[in-house]
Amino acid sequence: MMRIQITPHWGLAQGPDDAVDTTALLTLLAAIQESGAIAQAARSVGLSYRHAWGQVKRAEQLFGHPLVDAGRGRGSTLTPLAEKLIWADKRIAARLSPLLSSLASELENELDRALPQRPAGSAALRLHASHGFAVAALVEKLEAASLSVELRYRNSFESVSALARGECDLAGFHVPIGEFEASAAKRYMQWLKPQGHSLVHLAVRTQGLFVAPGNPKRIRSLADLQRPDVRFVNRPEGSGTRMLTELLLGKAGVTPAEISGYDSTEFTHAAVAAYIASGMADVGIGVQTAAQRFGLPFIPLVKERYFFALNKSAQSQPAMKTVLTLMQSPAYRSSVASLVGYEAGETGKLMTVAEAFDR
């Protein structure tokens, strides 16, 4: 199958003749941030010192403000504006990459269907799931195994309802372990049918509070979200993490009306982490892996199980057998276990709905 890659790109310009190549600029600024020297940064990205310095100066002229502080004898450091540009790029990638990946997958399959003489039985495996690190790792391995995958990143409720309507073959969703399990599982049962569906265990993962670098607001628990000086960033309605947030707040006696920023939402765990890391909010809820990748302190709250739901009748199909075999492989389990906050002890285990939740 033809592979399509769509990546976010943004530009900076005040007029038609003064546009800045942001991709090159941000790569250079990140290299300066890492090395502390313009000359070394220029070499690492394959530019001459003169060309690199010219890029910086053109951007500084556009902003009317310095991006690099190049002090004599003390190296080069980025100004707060330059650091904000780097974080803006990370926010763009965190927010848009899942959407663009879904679009690329749809386009790949549209092009594939348009090609003549497609092999019989070559229909893509349709995977609908929220954007998660273990899910992304699975998609990479499936594509490496030459299995055609049509991926759509959707929230947990959308994914499971799509399975019930016959719109996908695998639907990702997650359920907290412990006191909230029964309440959360019940919400999915309007679509999951014990007689018609099976579940595949993907991973156990830890959800908790992301807080700003250094935790300047000294946030310790959900009760701190009530404070007027604390800005929260949420997940969209219909997502499994939004449901978990509501359950956790209910137990803590905190109402949404008391939380500043409760209606401010980001699409993925990574986007929440990027939003906080860039200074737009003080706290959010998500998986530990995202906090670690954006350098944020993490306060664990609860563990949850992530599943794929599928039709029992699909278990014997060749493509599904390939998925199950791959998920049970030591290589994939190792990749899941390497994710911070993930556990892979039962990754790939096939079970009935009753086995998963009647405990």
Confidence of residue 65 (pLDDT cuts 50, 70, 90): very high
Q: Is the pLDDT of residue 10 over 90?
A: no
CA atoms 178, 184, 189, 191: torsion sign: negative
| Nearest-angstrom CA–CA distance, 292 and 274 | 11
pTM of the model: 0.81
Give residue 288's pLDDT: 97
- pLDDT tens per residue, range 247-303: 999 999 999 999 999 999 998 999 999 999 989 999 999 999 999 999 999 999 999
pLDDT at 104 exceeding the cut of 90: no
Minimum mean pLDDT range among 86-100, 181-195, 198-212, 215-229: 86-100
Cβ atoms of residues 248 and 181 within 8 Å = no
Which pLDDT belongs to residue 100? 81
Q: What is the pLDDT of residue 247?
A: 96
Mean pLDDT, to the nearest integer, of 99-113? Answer: 74
For residue 28, give the nearest of 42, 18, 49 by alpha carbon. 42
User: What pLDDT does residue 337 have?
Assistant: 96
In whole angstroms, what is the distance from residue 169 CA to residue 252 CA? 37
Q: What is the pLDDT of residues 110-152, one digit of tens each?
A: 776 676 665 555 568 899 998 889 998 998 899 888 888 888 8
pLDDT digits (tens, 9 = 90+) for 205-249: 999 999 999 999 999 999 999 999 999 999 999 899 999 999 999
